[in-house]
Amino acid sequence: MDANVLQLAKELSERAIRQAGQISRERFGRDIDMKSKGDFGDVVTEADYLAEDVIIKQIQSVFPNHQIHSEEAGSLGEESDWLWLIDPLDGTNNFAVGLPVFTASITLMFKREPVLGVVYEPLTDRLFCSVIGSGAYCNNRRMQVVGGRAISKGNIGWIQGHNVQNDRKAVRLRQHIDVNVKRMMRLWAPTLQWCLLASGDIDGIVLFNSEGDDLYSGVLMVKEAGGTVVDFEGRPFTGMNKEPYLIACHPGHKDDLLKMVRDGLGLK
């Protein structure tokens, strides 16, 4: 893996994601063009498309041989060791109803492993960035996941895929977590939850079958902030998975959070 490529990709991503975020910020709270997307009430807005276009064009101008997969545009370019994953507006449903909880996310994968993750929250002007082996930062301040207090007294983020809906196992697990921790959070902006865990503001994440362009920037962010990410069997999460079931937290909390999840699913 070429360190020069990573540095150039980092600079490009930080520049492009700020521009994409400005598009969302300028349109937030106004009348917006919006249409339905998928079968479960999801939406897409003009801001999604405009922000996506800004990011894609900049990547293609600098890395024409890299493959891109973006939330709205789909797959672009030939298969490559280098793959960009873009979610130009993570939290579109929040954005559409005037809830100020949304981000943009860019991930660069090399041979199916995340090596660069950049997340931007435009309304707070917080830029989160992680490069493999170099830590995770928010506005150039190094982030660290936190341990210490019991997981039962913590704030746990819940993330589920659009297709999960009211799957019986998911509902059962959500309820179990909800009554066994201080607070279970459902922001519907997954990348922001990953960044909150990396920055020490929440204590864990439980992810139920939610794979997409918004996943891997957050996974890298948490790992580079000293966190652990494992599947429901307790195995370290690496590579890419189309149906991931994950927990993420401080390493000292792993056993307790994993037990809580397995108890909630009725597993031994």
Q: Is 33 annotated as a binding residue?
A: no
Q: Is 89 annotated as a binding residue?
A: yes
CB distance 39 to 55 below 8 Å: no
Helix, strand or coil for residue 122? coil
Taking the C-alpha atoms of residue 27 and residue 22, their distance in angstroms, rounded to an integer, is: 9
Q: Which two tokens stand for residue 81?
A: 């060791």
> What dihedral angle (degrees, nearest 10) is formed by the CA atoms of 201, 204, 210, 211?
80
Beta bridge partners of 105: 87, 119
Q: Is 71 annotated as a binding residue?
A: yes
Q: Is 81 annotated as a binding residue?
A: no
Q: Which two tokens stand for residue 100?
A: 């100020």
Taking the C-alpha atoms of residue 38 and residue 58, their distance in angstroms, rounded to an integer, is: 28
Q: Is 214 annotated as a binding residue?
A: yes
DSSP string across 212-268 = STTTHHHHHHHHHTT-EEEETTSPBP-S--SS-EEEEE-GGGHHHHHHHHHHHTT--
Taking the C-alpha atoms of residue 137 and residue 158, their distance in angstroms, rounded to an integer, is: 23
Q: Which residues are annotated as a binding site?
A: 71, 87, 89-90, 214
Q: Which residues are annotated as a binding site for Mg(2+)?
A: 71, 87, 89-90, 214
